[in-house]
Amino acid sequence: MQLVNIEYRSELYKEEIKLRDEVLRAPLGLKFKKEDLDAEVDELRYGLLDSNGELTACLLVRILDDSVAKIRQMAVKEDLRGKGLGRELMKKVESELKIKKFNKVELHARMYAKVFYDKLGYIETGDIFTEIGIPHIKMKKDI
Ligand SMILES: CC(C)(COP(=O)(O)OP(=O)(O)OC[C@H]1O[C@@H](n2cnc3c(N)ncnc32)[C@H](O)[C@@H]1OP(=O)(O)O)[C@@H](O)C(=O)NCCC(=O)NCCS
């Protein structure tokens, strides 16, 4: 799978919103609002493309400061889960972030997906909290 940088408001960006909507919002009965998307203008966005150029997985990165990046909205197409794509995207993005001189990554894991991040070396910090109506936990990793 090829790692790509998704430009804000590009053609691929539209596919990325569709994938995130399907995977992260529709199952909760939610939808992205214009203001949610407008607030993402300064974020980095990455995806994995298959050999047909189809977007199979994506995530966002919010820059918190010169050394800390926050990974958000990790999504893998439903029929492609459990094949290592999520891990591949996370590892490739961590490598990109290292090149950009970030040395810490943090994220808010949905509790049901916590083991996925445990296996990538993320460590939980703090208590469980509710975000978009479901339990999450903050996790961190030094890269
Ligand atoms: C969570 C998600 C990103 C994982 O991606 P994936 O491509 O299915 O995961 P991978 O195949 O790369 O799995 C890597 C490892 O994590 C494990 N894993 C993946 N999802 C898991 C889950 N929900 N619970 C427990 N373990 C999980 C896999 O079993 C695998 O373990 P192994 O190395 O021992 O074989 C994907 O299932 C997804 O998009 N889910 C819906 C959206 C979501 O919850 N996003 C995360 C928001 S915080």
Per-residue pLDDT band at 99 (split at 50, 70, 90): very high
Among 116, 117, 136, residue to substitute to test ligand 1 (most atoms within 8 Å of Cβ): 116
Within a domain: residue 49? yes
Averaged pLDDT for residues 126-142: 96
Whole-number pLDDT of residue 110? 97
In 3-state terms, the chain is what percent helix, strand and coil (to 5)?
Answer: 35, 35, 30
Within a domain: residue 7? yes
Within a domain: residue 130? no
Within a domain: residue 22? yes
Within a domain: residue 74? yes
With tokens 């070396």, the residue in question is 121
Cβ–Cβ contacts within 10 Å for residue 10, how many?
Answer: 12
Within a domain: residue 70? yes
Within a domain: residue 111? no
Averaged pLDDT for residues 3-15: 94
pLDDT at 9 over 90: no
Give the CATH number, domain containing residue 59: 3.40.630.30
Beta partners for residue 68, in sequence order = 104
pTM of the model: 0.97
Within a domain: residue 139? no
3-class DSSP assignment, residue 95: helix
Nearest alpha carbon, ligand 1 atom 19: 116
37: domain range?
2-105
Considering only CA atoms, which of 133, 118, 108 is closest in space to residue 27? Answer: 133
From the CA of 86, how far away is ligand 1's center (Å)?
Answer: 6
Averaged pLDDT for residues 61-66: 97
Q: Domain tally for the chain?
A: 1
